[in-house]
């Protein structure tokens, strides 16, 4: 299938991860360092998200998941939360406007997490965008909103427990494959590579199950300063990893 020509100078890799997870961290600190409101950091971070998203798609990465808003982020100041949701609204409107371009790129857009807590209008827009791009197969872009890895596992376990209570399953039926089938990502490969800028060295409740055998790439770069070169650096590091999955 022929796709839209890339506007980027694409690097060549011998090995690419099928699924990349990105923890977009450091927006607030980036703004603070410059004497700006935290919302300005989130705006700049959203621009970086768009760039990396498009570049990953043009490279042909099968799936990329961005951690946009966690279940814990509701503890942030109300004004900051409103700003993040406003940026989400802007992204959704942009995605609707760029429907044709995204289709030509072969980009499928999905949202993972419990979106029932966010604004009803945003929920409707999410459903429209997911439906519009559902048949695209080149790259899946997962945007994690009101997402938490522990919460995702609880969701899976509750659904399985309900089926056991109703006699549709027995405890002997519970396997890793069954648990995975009830996660937000049942159709996607496990996460091969997780990228976290900003100098933090933790998962922060991101893709808890899917990251069981992930490779990690950490950097002190704050997300708004993250570039395609940095993304390529992470992919080069992944290319050199010896993934044994418990073997020799």
Domains of the chain: which residue ranges? 19-148+190-240
What are the two backbone dihedrals, phi and then psi, of residue 138, each rounded to the nearest 5 degrees? -70, -50
Average pLDDT over the chain reads 94
Q: What is the pLDDT of residue 44?
A: 96
Burial of residue 82 (number of CB atoms within 10 Å: 0-12, 13-18, 19+) = exposed
- Give CATH for domain 19-148+190-240: 3.40.1180.10
Q: What is the pLDDT of residue 100?
A: 82
DSSP 248: -
Q: What are the catalytic residues?
A: 25, 73
- Mean pLDDT over residues 161-168, rounded? 98
Q: Are 207 and 65 in contact (CB under 8 A)?
A: yes
pLDDT band at 6 (very low <50, low <70, confident <90, very high): confident
pLDDT at 176 exceeding the cut of 90:
yes
Q: What is the pLDDT of residue 62?
A: 96
- Mean pLDDT over residues 66-82, rounded? 96
pLDDT band at 1 (very low <50, low <70, confident <90, very high): low
Question: Residue 91: helix, strand or coil by DSSP?
Answer: helix
pLDDT at 247 exceeding the cut of 90:
no
- Which tens digits make up the pLDDT trace of 185-242? 999 999 999 999 999 999 999 999 999 999 999 999 999 999 999 999 999 999 999 8
What are the two backbone dihedrals, phi and then psi, of residue 225, each rounded to the nearest 5 degrees? -100, 0
Q: What is the pLDDT of residue 110?
A: 96
Q: pTM to 2 decimals?
A: 0.94
Q: H-helix or E-strand containing 19?
A: strand 19-23
pLDDT at 98 exceeding the cut of 90:
no
């Amino acid at each position: 299938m022929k796709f839209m020509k890339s506007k980027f100078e694409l690097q060549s890799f011998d090995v690419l991860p099928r699924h990349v997870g990105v923890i977009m961290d450091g927006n607030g600190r980036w703004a603070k360092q410059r004497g700006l409101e935290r919302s300005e950091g989130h705006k700049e971070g959203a621009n970086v998200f768009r760039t990396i998203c498009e570049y990953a798609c043009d490279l042909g990465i099968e799936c990329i998941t961005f951690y946009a808003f966690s279940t814990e982020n509701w503890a942030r100041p109300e004004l900051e939360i409103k700003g993040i949701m406003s940026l989400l609204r802007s992204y959704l409107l942009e995605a609707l406007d760029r429907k044709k371009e995204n289709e030509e790129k072969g980009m499928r857009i999905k949202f993972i997490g419990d979106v029932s807590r966010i604004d009803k209008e945003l929920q409707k827009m999410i459903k429209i965008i997911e439906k519009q791009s559902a048949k695209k197969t080149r790259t899946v872009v997962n945007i994690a909103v009101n997402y938490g890895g522990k919460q995702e596992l609880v969701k899976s376990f509750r659904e399985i427990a309900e089926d056991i209570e109703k006699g549709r399953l027995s405890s002997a039926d519970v396997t890793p494959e069954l648990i995975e089938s009830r996660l937000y990502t049942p159709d996607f490969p496990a996460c091969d590579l997780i990228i976290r800028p900003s100098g933090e060295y933790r998962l922060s409740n991101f893709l808890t199950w899917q990251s069981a055998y992930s490779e990690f790439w950490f950097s002190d770069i704050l997300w708004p300063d993250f570039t395609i070169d940095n993304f390529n650096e992470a992919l080069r590091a992944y290319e050199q990893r010896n993934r044994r999955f418990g073997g020799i």
